[in-house]
A = this chain, B = another copy of it.
Amino acid sequence: MKVCKFGGTSVASAEQIKKVAAIVQSDPSRKIVVVSAPGKRFSGDTKVTDLLIELGRASLAGERVEAPLEKVVQRYAQIAEELNLDPAVIRAIQTDLWNRLSADKSNQELYMDRIKASGEDNSAKLIAAYFAASGLQAKYVNPGDAGLIVNDLPKRAQALPEAYERLATLRNSEAVSVFPGFFGFTKNGTLRTFERGGSDITGSILAAAVKAELYENFTDVDCVFAANPHTVANPVEIEKMTYREMRELSYAGFAVFHDEALMPAFKESVPVCIKNTNHPAAPGTMIVKERDYSKRPVTGISADSGFSTLYVSKYLMNREIGFGRNLLQILEDEGISYEHIPSGIDNLSVIIRSHQLTPEKEARIVQRIQTEMHADDVHIRSDFSMVVLVGEGMNHTIGLAARAASAIARTGANIEMINQGSSEVSLVFGVLKHDETKILKELYQEFFEPALVK
């Protein structure tokens, strides 16, 4: 059986939901359908989730809620009308929203979570109703009833092991299960949401629980591209990549999936397919455990800006056991995670995502390294980009680093950092932000357009 997840744009309108129904009907193995809240129908439209945030905020502020509530209900009502659904569906949604609004406000975060989660929940109810009306044997499944039990981490809930056991029984359902994404319940029945974009996580958990043959993730693109289409014109489509490649690509700007979303599917080795609701015939991009990588060494190239470098030098540093660990402890005390630690003999740099730093934190870090570690030189520089080449087995392709470094040299840009040696699937270059675009273009040219090389 297959688990299909449909994102916000796939369920944004009646027209889109008809496509979803057609997709599910066309393949009897599509037995579990996870849905998001209705997203944007056009550029400038507002997502239902954002309408719900506005509604919850107004309610918590003691403002009148009729107008923001009507906006939410209207979105569902318009869909239901165009799908010729029984008006009872909309009355049920309205009642559900009033119930949530009148709930206990003592914990504002939990209150907001319940309001937000209604977006996916009511979307699932409406879509299940439409499936049934179109002659598909289908039913809405409540995550609490189905056993999606999560731990109590606010906004970053994680499914407990017993959740997988209980959800596995969805395999036995004759009807198509329509399951809302984004939330689960703790053991004592409190609703908890996953991170934003968490419908991907729900789909991944269900795919793992029922040991699906495939987890299809329907969105509004035909596939994942080998490079950012905003930078490179008509980039190559990625037919197949491994989980590891997906992870490395997502590091620097490829918003393919939420970081944690694939974890459950990955652990059960369920293959994932990124597909387009608007063009279901396109093969999409497969994400698998292993693939043959003999054809092309590089799968994709990504780039992201917003990195800073903390540089520390001290004569005879490499003789001091514990130097690196002490340094990382200072960063940890400031709650800062790091990306890479290139090191020389008497110096090292720590590559950090700049958003974690503030002028005060920087001053404290530099001060502590100077006074506690007696460093000769400490400074922080910002405005770096990381450009990442990703491909299974790439680092065992002789001459690949040379080709990449030569391509960068052709742009006239300097390489500030090279990191290769741990991952077998990536090669990371640190460059100045203002060089990022030209480097990405040149690397794409080098590895994906050999026929067009001047």
Residues in chain A within 8 A of chain B (CB atoms): 244, 247-248, 251, 259-260, 263, 266-267, 309, 311, 315-316, 318-319, 321-322, 324-325, 328-329, 332, 335-349, 351, 395-396, 398-399, 401-402, 405-406, 408-409, 412-423, 425-428, 430
Contact = CB atoms under 8 A, between A and B. Distances in A.
A417 B418 CA distance: 10
Given A248-B344, A325-B328, A345-B426, A319 B259 contact: yes
B406 A416 contact: no
A318 B337 contact: yes
A340 to B, nearest CB: 5
Contacts of A332: 321-322, 325
Contacts of A266: 315
B349 A421 contact: yes
**Residue among A267, A344, A346 with the highest chain B CB neighbour number at 10 A:** A344
A347 B423 contact: yes
Contacts of A319: 259-260, 337
A398 B414 contact: yes
B345 A423 contact: yes
Nearest to A409: B399
**Residue among A311, A395, A402 with the highest chain B CB neighbour number at 10 A:** A402
B402 A414 contact: no
Given A324-B328, A398-B409, 6 more contacts: A319-B337, A322-B332, A324-B341, A348-B422, A351-B421, A395-B415
Contact of A430 (B267, B325, B399, B421): B421
